[in-house]
């Protein structure tokens, strides 16, 4: 089976009702990211950071995967599909995708502030100051904050280097190191970028499809399955 690597960003979940922050004047649900998604923010005001991610976790449980997520599940009938996502929501998994790598962590997991390997999935969406793991240390969101290492990046590179086709959906390609992933796509593998605001990329020859995930992906997946795209581009 040919391998399709799908690299998704915040725009993938926009039509499910989860806002991107680059489309909201650099604010993420009304907060500057420096106040809620950095190690400095956590040191300064852990309560605000916990509350922010509590709200994100609660919202995630209230929304549903969209037609774009569903189309990627459909693609598995004919291709080996590996999703690499910058999203911290679980909408790919809930739609039914079987291989999802989270580069920036997962909202529905928390971990010990003392031991990063002590990770678990809480039943309730709310984590408070004073909630501790089995090692007695305060719990924090299992999220890669801005300025932190991206531990899964090497795994993402390995996956990307074996792609026959790469599809990038709903990402501005400005958050590094994630955005540099496309440089690891083999030279003979076509890359497609689905995003309503996609800009031409100088780094690689990328075919741009200007539109939203839920509108464009179902049609695009149909074309891939009927071989219209692979035969033309690969």
Interacting residue ranges for ligand NAD, rule: CB under 6 A = 9-11, 13-15, 18, 20-23, 28, 86-89, 104, 169-172, 174-175, 195-197, 212-213
Question: Whole-number minimum distance, CB 69 to ligand NAD, in Å?
Answer: 11
SS3 state of residue 97: coil
Q: Which is nearer to ligand NAD, 6 or 18 (CB)?
A: 18
Q: Is the dihedral of CA 116, 120, 121, 125 positive or negative?
A: negative
Q: Which is nearer to ligand NAD, 135 or 183 (CB)?
A: 183
Nearest Cα residue to 145 out of 216, 72, 50, 39: 39
Angle between helices 213-225 and 67-75 (to 10 degrees): 20
Question: Whole-number minimum distance, CB 211 to ligand NAD, in Å?
Answer: 7
Q: Which is nearer to ligand NAD, 63 or 137 (CB)?
A: 63
Question: Whole-number minimum distance, CB 28 to ligand NAD, in Å?
Answer: 6
Question: Whole-number minimum distance, CB 203 to ligand NAD, in Å?
Answer: 16
Q: Which is nearer to ligand NAD, 10 or 229 (CB)?
A: 10
Tokens of 3: 């391998």
Q: In the annotation, is 104 catalytic?
A: yes
Angle at the Cα of 50 from the Cα atoms of 142 and 59, rounded to 5 degrees: 80
Give the CB-nearest residue to ligand NAD. 11
Q: Which helix (H) or strand (E) is 8 found in, with range?
A: strand 3-8
Distance CA 53, CA 173 (A): 23
Which residues are annotated as catalytic?
A: 104
């Amino acid at each position: 089976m040919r391998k399709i690597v799908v690299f998704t960003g915040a725009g993938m979940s926009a039509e499910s009702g989860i806002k991107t922050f680059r489309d909201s004047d650099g604010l993420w649900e009304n907060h500057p990211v420096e106040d809620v998604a950095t190690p400095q923010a956590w040191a300064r005001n852990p309560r605000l950071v916990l509350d922010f991610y509590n709200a994100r976790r609660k919202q995630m449980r209230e929304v549903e995967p969209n037609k774009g997520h569903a189309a990627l599940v459909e693609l598995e009938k004919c291709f080996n599909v590996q999703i690499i996502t910058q999203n911290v929501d679980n909408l790919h998994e809930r739609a039914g995708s079987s291989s999802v790598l989270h580069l920036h962590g997962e909202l529905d997991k928390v971990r010990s502030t003392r031991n990063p390997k002590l990770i678990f999935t809480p039943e309730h969406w709310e984590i408070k100051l004073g909630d501790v793991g089995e090692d007695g240390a305060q719990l924090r969101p299992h999220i890669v904050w801005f300025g932190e290492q991206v531990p899964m990046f090497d795994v993402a590179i390995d996956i990307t280097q074996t792609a026959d086709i790469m599809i990038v959906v709903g990402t501005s390609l400005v958050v590094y190191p994630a955005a540099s992933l496309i440089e690891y796509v083999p030279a003979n593998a076509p890359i497609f970028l689905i995003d309503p605001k996609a800009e031409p990329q100088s780094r690689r020859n990328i075919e741009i499809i200007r539109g939203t995930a839920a509108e464009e992906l179902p049609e695009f997946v149909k074309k891939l399955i009927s071989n219209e795209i692979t035969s033309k581009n690969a």
